[in-house]
Structure 1
């Protein structure tokens, strides 16, 4: 143990290794229509059955020409038209040109397309003001984007809104994907009240489920909301037993610290086994990971920022592996210059909320203010995490720190 390690606290890197090593991706697959496949993970490579584009086509509105004709005269007679979906048919006499539109099929024998802005038109007489076009100018060749047989997406890719129209250009109507993991979640605590009710002394609104559910869905999972569970050991045990029969992963919020009414640890030891219970992370130290009889378990701290942070840093990579999302990558760390001080004590890796900007090519970052694990406005204001190393102390303005820009799951 190093001098800056907090006794009994597991480093984040070790925790992630313990979480990810035993995870086996889901194997069940589905055949889905393309419009329904958004957000699913591919269970097989997608190979293009066709060339894209499937024929040589025009990149411009203009005129199809043969270079040898234009060498003889800069004025040619228009004898036909080629539109997208309605190509020119018939013979193409010498010393003539064909009107062509963007995306239209290139007539046989065409060497180049001259954009209409470089022409003068009098009836069917077309004068070309650019008299030295190059071969294949403004022609998009067959397979210029995708060649038949190309692997366009690999197994393990999660389908995005950018992928769906690309797949549609290939004429593929159905995809083989992995089913989405099911994640059951609930909050624990007698002090929690649902939205729309009146608070009594000592009570607070349950906000964590409203942060956890969109993250589960943004991670590509099916979310099963089991609501608020009171601090009753029998009720909590029954909820765990029900949850693990419905889901691949069970996530709780609260009940993982050391309070007298925190029963989660005892129940886990009865229904499964605990992998670890305390991490060298701030906020989020009382994060728990374990295995139930039929599901994995992640116990989030009760403080709102801690819950979202541990979902983002720890649960997200677990879900990615479980989903078969082999192309998932952890957020990249980027050096930035601080514009404000950041208070910190050595012993835990600290994820503080920051606001970054880019100035003259350099990332700069400042604090969002209150960094309390219960102050969720700091998350709402932030656009990045300022990741302060475990053995690092407080940071003054002007120092270099590492930041992680929020990935799309937090937007």
Structure 2
């Protein structure tokens, strides 16, 4: 009997097979979310690009320290985008709003709450020190500073930082090319009439939705019959043209599970079978330079093997670090019975209650039950050696992407 790889060993083996994509493209910064920079990005300007006010109030000129009761003549105003350009003299003030450029000669900004205005003059109601409430040029970023390195994830915050620096386009690793297909004579497209023994195909839909959060170009080859020639023809048509081929179904030990044998004939099979529930029959190989994933056909197995193996592979191909799902420790609100020998990931609902995280399984955990994902926001990790997890026991939970909300 073939030895099953542990989840960690399978991931290590997979990492050794990954070769980063070395092609890049320039894209508008507005499209850079989730991408990986192909070269370091540096700031072209200082940020802020001029000395500006941190508060609404008055720019004042004079000494290094101002006392309550001092008076200043208001000679103008400086608004964001409309600076006051004349030089302030001693005992002069300029009305100023947050973000506006400070006039030449400004010593400090007296905040509005610490001033009393009477016509064209103000009186300080509190002390003010030179430099108070002034954001100096380059305080955030100095021109030439490296903002990000290669192999970093471009978040919404980073992209906003680029825009603030005036960066309009960025060089990123090109999108990962992914082909997907499913196999099974029983599969029919949603919207068609089912005959006895047929089911609607859902795995490609789930995979397509999950892939939308990744920097990928998806080629959908549809669902294929349990026919070796048809499967081989589909794989040969795109092998070498895409970075990743992801198939659903046909990798177990049934008479019509043909995908694994096709991979062995068309290319190479690197490993098969993981000590994982659900997801045991996962197959990983290579066909003409395209990394191949044969995911189990049961819908839950497809999703879990995608999350644990395919999603981080896409990140790694883009030059990002291998990223595991975010995990937390939580208290189990009901017991779990488990057959030892394989690590299991049960679907769960994670909530925050009275300052602690609690997690509840979503009922029947059969690998065909997509209903187990209803209201699910996490996976409960059940170690391979534990047969029973009791209520109140601390467990590790993995957050599902896009569902990081606790009720």
Q: TM-score range by the shorter chain?
A: over 0.9
Identify the residue that residue 151 of structure 2 maps to in structure 1.
156
- 1:22 Cα shift? 2.0
2: CA distance, partners of 1:220 / 1:33: 14
2: CA distance, partners of 1:213 / 1:141: 48
Alpha carbon RMSD of aligned pairs, Å?
A: 2.0
Identify the residue that residue 355 of structure 1 maps to in structure 2.
349
Q: Residue 124 in 1 paired to residue 124 in 2?
A: no
- 1:219 Cα shift? 2.7
Identify the residue that residue 101 of structure 2 maps to in structure 1.
105
Three-state SS of the structure 2 residue aligned to 1:289 is: strand
Three-state SS of the structure 2 residue aligned to 1:334 is: strand
Instruction: Choose from 179, 183, 193 the match for 1:198.
Output: 193
2: CA distance, partners of 1:150 / 1:289: 42
- 1:72 Cα shift? 8.6
1: CA distance, partners of 2:402 / 2:138: 32
Three-state SS of the structure 2 residue aligned to 1:26 is: coil
1: CA distance, partners of 2:332 / 2:360: 6
Contact 1:58 1:100 survives alignment (8 Å): yes
Matches within 5 A, 1:315-394: 315-326=310-321, 328-394=322-388
Three-state SS of the structure 1 residue aligned to 2:196 is: coil
- 1:154 Cα shift? 1.5
Q: Residue 17 in 1 paired to residue 16 in 2?
A: no
- 1:189 Cα shift? 0.3
- 1:67 Cα shift? 5.6
Three-state SS of the structure 1 residue aligned to 2:380 is: strand
Identify the residue that residue 72 of structure 2 maps to in structure 1.
76
Three-state SS of the structure 1 residue aligned to 2:345 is: strand
1: CA distance, partners of 2:20 / 2:374: 32
1: CA distance, partners of 2:87 / 2:129: 24
TM-score, scaled relative to structure 1: 0.93
2: CA distance, partners of 1:183 / 1:380: 27
- 1:159 Cα shift? 2.2
Greater Cα offset, 360-369 or 18-27: 360-369
Gaps of 5+ in 1: 1-5
Three-state SS of the structure 1 residue aligned to 2:95 is: strand
2: CA distance, partners of 1:302 / 1:9: 18
- 1:245 Cα shift? 4.2
1:180-226 superposed Cα distances (whole Å, 9 cap, x missing partner): 11010001001110011011111111110111112223232111111
Q: Residue 166 in 1 paired to residue 153 in 2?
A: no
- 1:320 Cα shift? 1.4
1:136-174 superposed Cα distances (whole Å, 9 cap, x missing partner): 222112222222222211111232332222101111222
Identify the residue that residue 26 of structure 2 maps to in structure 1.
31
Q: Residue 145 in 1 paired to residue 134 in 2?
A: no
Three-state SS of the structure 2 residue aligned to 1:226 is: strand
2: CA distance, partners of 1:82 / 1:244: 62
- 1:350 Cα shift? 0.7
Contact 2:61 2:88 survives alignment (8 Å): no
Three-state SS of the structure 2 residue aligned to 1:330 is: coil
Matches within 5 A, 1:180-191: 180-191=175-186
Instruction: Choose from 121, 125, 128 the match for 1:133.
Output: 128
Identify the residue that residue 3 of structure 1 maps to in structure 2.
none
Three-state SS of the structure 2 residue aligned to 1:91 is: coil
2: CA distance, partners of 1:143 / 1:408: 36
